[in-house]
Each structure stands twice: as C-alpha cells, then as structure tokens.
C-alpha cells in the first residue's frame, strides 16, 4: 500500500482510537460522583466503603478487556483487522448509552464489563499499523495514534464534565424530571453517537490491512480464561526484549490506572479535609488540559524527538516525568492553579513520551522475531488490562484505608505508591537493546 493510499486508513484508525478514548475517559469527571450516588442508594454511606466502589466499576471495564482482548487479537490474525475493529465500535455505541442509564451498582459494573469485553480496538489498531508500516514509519505513526489518545483524553473529560447534569447546567429542554433523574446520560449519549459515526466512516473508508495469505489459524483455541492465563505464562518463551517491554508497559499502566481512580477522589474532597474542592466541570477542564499536552507531545514532538534520541531513552524519560507528577499531586493546594497544571503537565508529557516509544519498540521486536502482531499486541493489551484491573482496586483499597488516617498513612499514600510503581519500569527495562539499531529492516 502506497503512502498516499495509507492516509485514509490512518485517518480512520486515528478516529477509531479517538472514539475509544473518548468513551473510556468521558466518565472520569463524573464517575466518582455517579458511583458515589449509586453506592449511597445501595446503602454504602461512609466514605471508605462508598469510595471503594469507584475502583470496582473502573476495574470491571478492564476485566472484560483482560479476558477477551487476547481472543480479539487472535481473531484479527485469522479473519483480518477490519471486522474486529467494526465489532468494537458497535460495542462502544451500545454500552456507552447503556452506562448513562445505569440505575444500580450492579448494572454499572455489568455494562462496563461488557464494554471492555467487546472492545479490542487499541490492540488491533496497533497491529494494523504494524501491517502497513516500515520500521522508519513506526515512531511517527505510533505517535499519531498516541496523539489520538491525548485528544480523546482531552475531549472525553471535557464532554463528561460540561454535559453532566444538563437539567441544572443548561435548563431549557433539559429542565425536566427525567433529565434531573439521569444527570450523567447526556455525555454518554453524545459519546455513543460519535462511536456510531466512526463505525459508518469505517464501513466506507477502512480497508483490510492483513492479506489472506498472511493470516494465521487456530484463533478459536486462543480465547477463554484458560487460554488467557496460558498466554501470560507463555510470555517466558518470548524474547527477553519482548518480555521486558510487556512488563514495563504493565507497570506504567498499573500506576496510571491508580491515578484515574483516586485523582478525582482527591480533587473532589473539601478544602478543609486537604482536597481541592473541584466539581465535575473543573475536573473535566483539568483532564482536557492533560489531553491537550498529550496531543502536542505525541502529535507534534515525538517524530522529531525520535530522530534525535534513541526511542528507549525517550521511554525512560517518560517514565521519570510521570513518576514526578504522580508524587506531586497530593501536595497541591487550591491556589495557585498553575501548580496543579505544572504537576499534570509532567504526567501528560511523560505519558506522551512513553506510550509511542514503547509501542514502537515492541512492534519492531515482534516483527524481527517473526511473531504475529495481532497476538503480540493482544498480549500487551491483556497485560495492560490486568494492570488496569489491579490498579483501580489497589488504589481504592489504599485510599479507603488511609484517607482518614494520620502520620505517614494519609491520602498522600496512594499517589506515593503509584509513583514508586512507575519507577519500576526504569529497573525492568534495564538492558533492553535499541532494537532498530541492532536489526536490519525486516520486510
């Protein structure tokens, strides 16, 4: 496929990942308040037990991903990338709308689980890019997809924050009993509609990237819980570089998912209790700023930086920047706002450097060693999903145990633990060779 012919697929892939990230992140500004409301209606009234459910709802999405992404990645190796991507967009559309209508904790948990189970688009999208890209093109194209992460991280929380509670926020046609009883439905509806539009565009404009002669079979044997666990164990049979890169990504995502769980628990706390007193809209603005920084780094800076510095070094710098930002968060004050923006910039820039660099390295290594990209990216997303299951639950547990504590065990603790987990990536990756410089181009 020529460079000109690849522009349309890349645009659609950009939109697919963008929609995925909007759907995943739009819940961030209001999920804490939504789950707190549902938990209180189910009888969980004290802060510790109520906030615990925030981590459970977040973890349910990635539990679905953990169980089913390896199967979806394997199916993309057998039947092609396009049908799996289309299936993920359909799931996005249906379950985003359903989540906004959830009226009990068990409904919210079930819907988020099904949404994660049906959506393997991130892994399959990366495999698609690997199918159509040379090694020289990979950093820039992975950066492009990374930029869609950042843009989705900007648009999603903005939509979620601004459109929450339209009955009070906008009035007019929303000033009804129904909208007052469903304050979180409008942002979910808008995100579902965007996913439907992305699906229609993909039907018309997204060609298949994996020729039939390059497809593998036996995908039906790679699904299910036993197969998922077997794939985790069989990582020991992969090359040392692939194993390390999988673990680096898993540790990074573990810490990042802990941030998703507790950042708004912290910012939403009253100023008297040490928090920042932010509401849904303010949290939406903060995450929109983080997304904007990610777009700048991954969409504009990663390509020239990868030509100047080794990809591995960019990955390490990204890890360190993110750790600094995580450790800084609990020491923020309500004013000046600039300090909060600087702390979040460290996290945004760190993630912007880490994600495309790590993706580039593991994609190149997989191609050199003759591994199926769908399987490798499915394994990576499976490990990442496992991290995003453990992260919210671990963060919620630490938060519940320490939020009302004193001394060294306070609401600061969860952010300090996340920062240390991030730094584990620096240790794990020690000894990884610069793949591009050690191997010739593999066509």
Q: What secondary structure, in 3-state letters, does 4-57 show?
A: HHHHHHHHHHHHHHHHHHHHHHCCHHHHHHHHHHHHHHCCCCCHHHHHHHHHHH
- DSSP structural state of residue 296: I
Global pTM? 0.74
Q: For residues 116 and 1, which has the higher predicted lDDT (pLDDT)?
A: 116
CA distance 62 to 397: 17
CA distance 325 to 318: 11
Burial (CB count <10 Å: 0-12, 13-18, 19+), residue 426: middle
**Whether the Cβ atoms of residue 192 and residue 94 lie closer than 8 Å to each other:** yes
pLDDT at 8 over 70: no
pLDDT at 39 over 80: yes
**Whether the Cβ atoms of residue 130 and residue 277 lie closer than 8 Å to each other:** no
Number of helical (H) and strand (E) elements in the chain, helices listed first = 19, 0
Contacts of 245 (CB under 8 A, 6+ apart): 358, 361, 362, 365, 380, 429, 432
How does pLDDT run across 140-157, given as a tens digit for each residue? 777 677 677 767 777 888
How does pLDDT run across 61-96, given as a tens digit for each residue? 878 877 787 778 778 888 888 888 888 889 888 998
Cβ count within 10 A of residue 203:
12
Q: Average pLDDT of 369-394?
A: 77
How does pLDDT run across 208-265, given as a tens digit for each residue? 877 777 777 554 455 555 666 666 666 666 677 887 888 899 999 999 989 888 888 8
In the structure, what pLDDT confidence band is assigned to residue 205 with cuts at 50, 70 and 90? confident
H or E element at residue 375 = helix 373-402
Nearest to 287 by CA among 161, 147, 384, 422: 161
Give the rounded distance of the alpha carbon of 131 from its chain centre.
22
CA angle 50, 53, 59 (to 5 degrees): 165
Task: Give rounded-to-5 percent helix, strand, coil for the chain.
Answer: 80, 0, 20
State the pLDDT at residue 78: 81
Burial (CB count <10 Å: 0-12, 13-18, 19+), residue 245: buried
Tell me the DSSP string of 63-109: HHHHHHHHHHHHHHHHH-HHHHHHHHHHHHHHHHHHHHT--SHHHHH
pLDDT at 438 over 50: no
Domains of the chain by start residue, with CATH = 3-207+237-433 (1.20.1250.20)
How does pLDDT run across 281-318, given as a tens digit for each residue? 888 888 888 888 887 887 778 888 888 888 888 999 99
């Amino acid at each position: 496929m020529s460079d000109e012919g690849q522009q349309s697929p890349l645009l659609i892939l950009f939109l697919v990942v963008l929609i995925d990230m909007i759907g995943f992140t739009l819940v961030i500004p209001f999920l804490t308040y939504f789950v707190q409301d549902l938990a209180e209606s189910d009888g969980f009234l004290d802060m510790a037990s109520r906030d615990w459910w925030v981590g459970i709802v977040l973890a349910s999405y990635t539990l679905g991903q953990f169980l089913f992404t390896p199967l979806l990645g394997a199916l993309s190796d057998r039947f092609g990338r396009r049908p799996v991507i289309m299936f993920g967009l359909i799931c996005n559309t249906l379950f985003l709308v359903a989540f906004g209508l959830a009226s009990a904790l068990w409904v919210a948990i079930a819907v988020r689980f099904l949404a994660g189970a049906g959506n393997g688009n991130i892994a399959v999208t990366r495999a698609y890019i690997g199918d159509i890209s040379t090694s020289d093109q990979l950093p820039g194209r992975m950066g492009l997809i990374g930029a869609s992460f950042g843009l989705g991280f900007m648009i999603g929380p903005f939509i979620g924050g601004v459109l929450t509670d339209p009955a009070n926020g906008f009035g007019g046609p929303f000033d009804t009993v129904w909208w007052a009883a469903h304050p979180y439905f409008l942002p979910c509806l808008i995100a579902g509609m965007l996913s439907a539009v992305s699906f229609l565009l993909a039907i018309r404009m997204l060609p298949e990237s994996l020729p039939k002669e390059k497809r593998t079979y036996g995908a039906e044997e790679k699904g299910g819980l036993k197969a998922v666990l077997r794939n985790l164990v069989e990582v020991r049979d992969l090359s040392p570089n692939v194993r390390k890169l999988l673990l680096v990504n898993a540790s990074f995502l573990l810490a990042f998912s802990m941030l998703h769980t507790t950042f708004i628990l912290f910012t939403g706390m009253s100023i008297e209790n040490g928090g920042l007193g932010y509401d849904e809209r303010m949290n939406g603005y903060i995450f929109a700023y983080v997304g904007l920084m990610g777009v700048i780094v991954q969409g504009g800076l990663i390509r020239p930086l990868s030509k100047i510095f080794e990809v591995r070094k960019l990955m390490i710098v990204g890890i360190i920047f993110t750790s600094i930002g995580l450790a800084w968060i609990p020491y923020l004050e309500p004013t000046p706002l600039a300090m909060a923006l600087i702390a979040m910039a460290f996290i945004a820039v760190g993630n912007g450097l880490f994600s495309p660099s790590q993706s580039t390295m593991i994609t190149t290594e997989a191609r050199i060693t003759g591994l199926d990209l769908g399987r490798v990216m499915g394994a990576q997303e499976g490990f990442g999903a496992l991290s995003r299951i453990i992260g919210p639950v671990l963060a919620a547990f630490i938060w519940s145990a320490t939020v009302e504590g004193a001394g060294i065990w306070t609401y600061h603790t969860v952010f300090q633990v996340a920062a240390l987990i991030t730094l584990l990536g620096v240790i794990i990756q020690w000894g990884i060779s610069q793949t591009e410089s050690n191997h010739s181009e593999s066509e």
